[in-house]
């Protein structure tokens, strides 16, 4: 880390510790698409300087996309310290340039730094997720060992920064969950900068200009800003603070405000006697200092500070309007509540009747899906009643086995001990995606995406509810469970028939088209969405009448609403899985002016999945073992090696000419080619692919119909689908 930035950060911490007694350490979360590193200030360590050493720090999303993870070990006499942080490798650490820093392991090298002579200094750097919390000293067996390709983690593309979460996840005005619940149950996001000069005057409103947003270290902490004027020196300081403790000797008082309204804390006009040069005593009246403080409990609320000077000002216009509106709305709200309660009781009664009459007994969760989606085609409102389980009691859920593990969470099969399953057991089977408290932001993004009822579709994983499991410090997403697992696992086990290819391809394209669509199935406007991490392991397989699938893992999804600025989109970075990244994503050249670009990158990824499905269909002739697109060279190819294949060589997965012996497959190949075109604008839309599938790709007489939007040159390309690696 740049020494300046780190020391500024530490100073901020020291200040907070000093005023609040807090010993916590809150890392900045300033950018996403960036590496996540372990982040500890220099502290005493038991690491001996040999073998390997594992330690626990806070996870932090690095400030800049270039940053790598660094750990520094020092020994000065008996004093051993360890420090971990993000660092721009173009800058020296301890006066030393890092050199090779692209490793996934943090291998310590002894360095001669700028410390006191006699101090032993070891530095390591690496660039995979939190790789700097496990360091390897040169005498370890692990040192210099070639990396195990299975062990090299997928390049890390963390989920959106808290700063952008609402914008990216689409703050469509729907309910935001408060960061601090009634009992101060969730950690706040606050601006967190050291004391710095400000142009704010103690009048009107003002911005803190602090770029660091931090997740508060402790539950119940609130956001605080302190404005101070000492002579001509005007400063502002932003931080998290436990309201039970004083700030600068003064208690905060009421602190549950949504806005940061400044109150004067101390105005001491100090009379001081000073000796003048001729020894005469003069009495000066010093305007010693002026301090204002505000606290609040909304995400980053201490960024926007408001100076109010008298009681009259305090009820600002917004609040007055709110008050009048609330008063006039009370009768209406009462009525609405009555209707909701009656409707709820009616539904509960109806459901009980259905259970009793046996209509719902003996159903598994896929049937609950059917039940919940019964009204899918009705024009329901877009707020999802079950987005968060607001009951104080957690759902009666018992986790069974682990069925999947992703970058941010683990997925478990589980028993929801309500109702009865198909086999008469007293539970429903569900899937639980479990996020640790460090992955709160990923959980929140996925929950917010899922909370839009307009996302509901047969080919999108059915979301049931989200829960904060306070006792276990976990965040859960409860969804339908699909026993056949993900598409990649399924293709590895099974060869497909032509009908399977048609139903899987069709349902996948329908799912993607639904995400991208600006209308629900019943024609109501909806916010389109880009998935941004489509791949066969993010698609679940379902077998009812046909073999179909549904899309899952919306942790990186982006709501494409018109309110997103180009800057916000640019900040969303290069996300996804390198193997499935479109050429323009690999070279970070997405056209941010047009939200269609994000859909076009999804279509590219979808084409690779279509290729995977086709490669395992017996209609192509001899079916080989399952291989992912671009082969098994590395379990998780990195962006650089994908750039070589996809950009430099313009390579695409091979489609041997023998596949074309089947006329339907030839047409599927043509569609795949049109979806992975190097030019994003030239790609088909997901809707168009879905239509082609619904028309069956069969050797129909009206083949021309399938081609009506393809010019004659493209037709030739489609008929000759032996494209191998060239395009």
Q: List, by residue number, the catalytic residues.
A: 533
User: By C-beta, is 226 or 432 nearer to ligand ADE?
Assistant: 432
Q: What SS3 class is residue 66? A: coil
Please list every residue from 50 through 109 that binds ligand ADE, using CB under 6 A: none
User: By C-beta, is 298 or 537 nearer to ligand ADE?
Assistant: 537
Q: CB of residue 479 vs ligand ADE: minimum separation in angstroms?
A: 5
Strand order across the beta sheet in which 397-405 lies: 397-405, 409-416, 428-436, 474-480, 463-469
- Are 663 and 699 contacting, i.e. CB atoms less than 8 angstroms apart? yes
Number of helices and strands (H, E) in the chain? 16, 27
CA distances from 327 to 319, 330, 331, 338, 538 (A): 12, 5, 8, 18, 48
Beta partners for residue 120, in sequence order: 75
Q: Which of 481, 490, 554, 611 binds ligand ADE (CB under 6 A)?
A: 481
Q: At what angle do helices 686-694 and 498-516 cross, to 10 degrees?
A: 150
Binding segment (CB under 6 A) for ligand ADE, from list 305-313, 325-333, 480-488, 658-666: 480-488
Q: CB of residue 432 vs ligand ADE: minimum separation in angstroms?
A: 9
- Are 124 and 107 contacting, i.e. CB atoms less than 8 angstroms apart? yes
User: By C-beta, is 489 or 627 nearer to ligand ADE?
Assistant: 489
User: By C-beta, is 301 or 411 nearer to ligand ADE?
Assistant: 411
Beta partners for residue 542, in sequence order: 548
Q: What SS3 class is residue 90? A: coil
Q: How far apart are CA 37 and CA 133, in angstroms?
A: 8
With CA atoms as reference, report the closest residue to 554 among 574, 576, 581, 584: 576
With CA atoms as reference, report the closest residue to 530 among 438, 597, 446: 597
- The answer to whether residue 482 forms part of the interface with ligand ADE (CB under 6 A) is yes
Per-residue binder mask for ligand ADE (CB under 6 A), 364-403, x = binder: ---------------------------------------x
Beta partners for residue 304, in sequence order: 207
Count Cβ atoms within 10 A of the Cβ of residue 634 and give its class: 0-12 exposed, 13-18 middle, 19 or more buried: middle
Binding segment (CB under 6 A) for ligand ADE, from list 132-140, 196-204, 298-306, 474-482: 474-482
Please list every residue from 550 through 589 that binds ligand ADE, using CB under 6 A: 552
Interface size with ligand ADE, residues (CB under 6 A): 12
Q: CB of residue 400 vs ligand ADE: minimum separation in angstroms?
A: 11
User: By C-beta, is 213 or 445 nearer to ligand ADE?
Assistant: 445
User: By C-beta, is 122 or 481 nearer to ligand ADE?
Assistant: 481
Write the DSSP string, 333-371.
HHHHHHHHHHHHHHHHHHHHHHHHTTSSTT--HHHHHHH
Q: How far apart are CA 636 and CA 104, in angstroms?
A: 13
Element spanning 666, H or E: helix 663-675
Chain-centre distance for alpha carbon 595 = 19
Please list every residue from 219 through 278 that binds ligand ADE, using CB under 6 A: none
Q: CB of residue 312 vs ligand ADE: minimum separation in angstroms?
A: 56
- Are 718 and 666 contacting, i.e. CB atoms less than 8 angstroms apart? yes
N- to C-terminal Cα separation, the chain: 43
With CA atoms as reference, report the closest residue to 589 among 568, 570, 564, 563: 570
Tokens coding 584: 């323009």
> Count of alpha carbons within 13 Å of 235, Cβ hemisphere only?
11
Per-residue binder mask for ligand ADE (CB under 6 A), 427-446, x = binder: ----x---------------
Q: How far apart are CA 243 and CA 264, in angstroms?
A: 17
With CA atoms as reference, report the closest residue to 168 among 494, 503, 573, 459: 573
For ligand ADE, the nearest residue by Cβ is 431
Tokens coding 495: 């060869």
Q: Which of 31, 184, 404, 629 binds ligand ADE (CB under 6 A)?
A: 404
Q: Which of 3, 362, 394, 485 binds ligand ADE (CB under 6 A)?
A: 485
Q: CB of residue 541 vs ligand ADE: minimum separation in angstroms?
A: 9
Binding segment (CB under 6 A) for ligand ADE, from list 143-151, 240-248, 420-428, 477-485: 477-485
Q: CB of residue 402 vs ligand ADE: minimum separation in angstroms?
A: 10
Q: CB of residue 537 vs ligand ADE: minimum separation in angstroms?
A: 9
Binding segment (CB under 6 A) for ligand ADE, from list 89-97, 475-483, 585-593, 603-611: 475-483
- The answer to whether residue 488 forms part of the interface with ligand ADE (CB under 6 A) is no
CA distances from 96 to 90, 121, 676 (A): 11, 11, 45
- Are 580 and 645 contacting, i.e. CB atoms less than 8 angstroms apart? no
User: By C-beta, is 389 or 488 nearer to ligand ADE?
Assistant: 488
- The answer to whether residue 540 forms part of the interface with ligand ADE (CB under 6 A) is yes
Which residues sit at the interface with ligand ADE, rule CB under 6 A?
A: 403-404, 411, 431, 461, 479, 481-482, 485-486, 540, 552
């Amino acid at each position: 880390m740049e020494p300046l930035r780190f020391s500024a950060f530490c100073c901020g911490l020291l200040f907070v510790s000093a005023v609040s007694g807090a010993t916590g350490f809150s890392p900045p979360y300033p950018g996403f698409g960036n590496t996540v590193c372990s982040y500890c200030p220099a502290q005493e360590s038991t690491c001996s300087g040999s073998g390997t050493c594992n330690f626990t720090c806070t996870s932090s999303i690095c400030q800049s996309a270039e940053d790598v993870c660094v750990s520094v070990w020092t020994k000065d006499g008996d004093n051993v310290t360890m420090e971990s942080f993000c660092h721009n490798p173009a800058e020296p650490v301890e006066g030393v340039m890092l050199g090779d820093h692209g490793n996934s392991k943090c291998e310590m090298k002894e360095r001669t730094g700028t410390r006191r002579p006699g101090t032993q200094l070891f530095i390591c750097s690496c660039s995979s997720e939190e790789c700097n919390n496990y360091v390897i000293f040169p005498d370890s067996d692990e040192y210099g060992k070639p990396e195990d390709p299975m062990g090299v983690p997928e390049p890390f593309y963390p989920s959106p920064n808290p700063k952008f979460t609402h914008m990216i996840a689409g703050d469509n005005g729907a309910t935001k969950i408060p960061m601090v619940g009634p009992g101060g149950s969730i950690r706040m996001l606050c601006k967190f900068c050291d004391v710095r000069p400000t142009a704010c005057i103690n009048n009107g409103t003002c911005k803190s200009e602090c770029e660091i947003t931090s997740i508060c270290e402790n539950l119940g902490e609130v956001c605080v800003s302190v404005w101070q004027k000492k002579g001509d020196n005007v400063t502002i300081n932003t931080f998290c603070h436990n309201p039970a403790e004083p700030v600068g000797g003064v208690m905060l008082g009421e602190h549950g405000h949504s806005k940061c309204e400044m109150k004067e804390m101390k105005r001491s006009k100090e009379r001081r006697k000073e000796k003048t040069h001729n020894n005469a005593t003069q009495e000066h009246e010093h305007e010693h200092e002026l301090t204002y403080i505000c606290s609040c409990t909304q995400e980053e609320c201490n960024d926007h500070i408001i100076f109010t000077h008298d009681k009259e000002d305090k009820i600002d216009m917004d609040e007055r309007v709110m008050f009048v509106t609330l008063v006039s709305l009370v009768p209406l709200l009462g009525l609405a509540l009555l209707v909701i309660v009656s409707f709820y009781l009616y539904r509960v009664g109806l459901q009980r009747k259905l259970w009793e009459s046996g209509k719902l007994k003996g159903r598994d969760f896929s049937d609950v899906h059917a039940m919940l989606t019964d009204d899918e085609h009705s024009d329901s409102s877009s707020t999802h009643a079950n987005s968060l389980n607001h009951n104080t009691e957690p759902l009666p859920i018992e986790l069974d086995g682990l069925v999947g593990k992703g970058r941010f969470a683990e997925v478990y099969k589980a028993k929801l001990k309500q109702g009865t399953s198909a086999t008469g057991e007293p539970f429903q089977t569900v899937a639980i995606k479990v996020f640790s408290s460090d992955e709160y932001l990923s959980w929140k993004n996925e929950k917010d995406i899922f909370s839009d009822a307009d996302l509901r579709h047969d080919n999108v994983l059915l979301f049931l509810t989200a829960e904060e499991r306070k006792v276990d410090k976990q965040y859960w997403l409860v969804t339908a469970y699909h026993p056949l697992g993900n598409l990649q696992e399924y293709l590895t086990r099974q060869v497909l028939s032509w009908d399977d290819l048609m139903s899987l391809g069709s349902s996948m394209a329908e799912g993607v088209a639904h995400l991208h669509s600006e209308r629900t199935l019943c024609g109501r406007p909806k916010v389109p969405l880009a998935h941004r991490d489509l791949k066969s392991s993010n698609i679940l397989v379902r077998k009812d009448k046909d073999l179909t699938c549904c899309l899952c893992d919306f942790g990186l999804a982006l709501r494409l609403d018109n309110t997103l600025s180009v800057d916000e989109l640019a900040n969303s970075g290069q996300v996804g899985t390198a193997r499935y990244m479109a050429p323009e994503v690999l070279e970070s050249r997405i056209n941010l002016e047009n939200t269609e670009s994000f859909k076009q990158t999804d279509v590219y990824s979808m084409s690779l999945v279509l290729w995977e499905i086709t490669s395992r269909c017996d209609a192509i002739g001899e079916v080989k073992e399952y291989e992912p697109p671009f082969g098994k060279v590395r379990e998780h190819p990195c962006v650089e090696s994908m750039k070589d294949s996809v950009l430099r060589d313009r390579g695409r997965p091979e489609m041997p000419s023998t596949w074309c012996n089947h006329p339907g497959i030839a047409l599927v190949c043509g569609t795949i080619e049109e979806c992975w075109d190097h030019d994003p604008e030239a790609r088909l839309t997901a809707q168009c692919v879905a239509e082609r599938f619904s028309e069956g790709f069969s050797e129909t007489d009206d083949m021309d119909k399938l081609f009506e939007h393809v010019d004659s040159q493209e037709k030739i390309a489609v008929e000759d689908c032996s494209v191998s690696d060239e395009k």
